[in-house]
Amino acid sequence: MDVRVLSSGRAHRRASAPKRLRNIAPSGGRSAALRPYGAPAPTHARSSPPVPSVLRRYGLLVPALAGSVLLVVAEFSALYEIRIITVTAETVRGGSHHGYALLVIALASLLMAFGAVVGRSRPAAAALLVLALAAAVVTLAIDLPDLDETGPYGRDYERAVASAGPGFYLETLGTALLLVSAVAIALFGPRPERAPGERGRARDADAAASPPA
């Protein structure tokens, strides 16, 4: 009687062993349970290539740099031109029209973008957003209303016409890039690094706030 009970128990354990292995096997299935300890898991699908660290860290600087360069070029380009039939009577450049305000904004934006991304400065990110809004005010409130202004030529010549020059389109694109960069840096830019003591206090505060299990 004892022999039959003992042999029956052994058979039951052998039958239930694969089931227990299946229950404790990881997501890799039976092959993962039988894989030697420390062996890499087989890859069934090719993973996407990682983003280079330089691009991941400094990529937000690209639109700010491009926008600032466009604003500088626009300052020395034709904002609008006044034509009389086929003759260009006057060419107004962007810098002379608004006192080279966009040149100052562009140089300051470069410094603020560098400080916000490389230096992880949140005040610099906020200042970059303010500068981008100032560039939008210059473009839309100062330059745009005067694009069809013929001045004294319109009084003296009936066929005098004013039209936007390449400088206006350059400053518009530069302002848009600067705004996009400022918003992206404010939302997704790097945050200031905490000191080791601050990180320890933050962990202690999180542990104290979390309810016990």
Measure the CA–CA gap between 45 and 130, rounded to whole angstroms.
46
* 93: in domain: no
Condensed to tens digits (0 to 9), the pLDDT of residues 120-145 reads 899 999 999 999 999 999 999 999 99
* 43 or 76, greater pLDDT: 76
Q: How confident is the model at residue 183 (pLDDT cuts 50, 70, 90)?
A: very high
Task: Inform me whether the pLDDT recorded for 23 exceeds 70.
Answer: no
Measure the CA–CA gap between 97 and 164, rounded to whole angstroms.
13
Give residue 113's domain range: 58-76+98-146+166-192
Measure the CA–CA gap between 31 and 22, rounded to whole angstroms.
10
* 53: in domain: no
* 180: in domain: yes
* 130: in domain: yes
Residue tagged 């409130």 (tokens): 141
Condensed to tens digits (0 to 9), the pLDDT of residues 134-182 reads 999 999 999 999 999 998 888 888 889 999 999 999 999 999 999 999 9
* 84: in domain: no
* 108: in domain: yes
State the Rg of the chain over Cα.
Answer: 34
pLDDT mean over 90-117: 95
DSSP-derived 3-state class of residue 31: helix
pLDDT mean over 7-12: 51
Domain count, the chain: 1
* 154: in domain: no
DSSP-derived 3-state class of residue 87: strand
Tokens matching residue 148: 């069809």
Q: How many CB atoms lie within 10 A of CB 123?
A: 11
pLDDT value of position 195 = 54
Q: Apex CA 182: angle with CA 176 and CA 183, to 5°?
A: 90
Question: To the nearest 5 percent, what fractions of the chain are helix, strand and coil?
Answer: 65, 10, 25
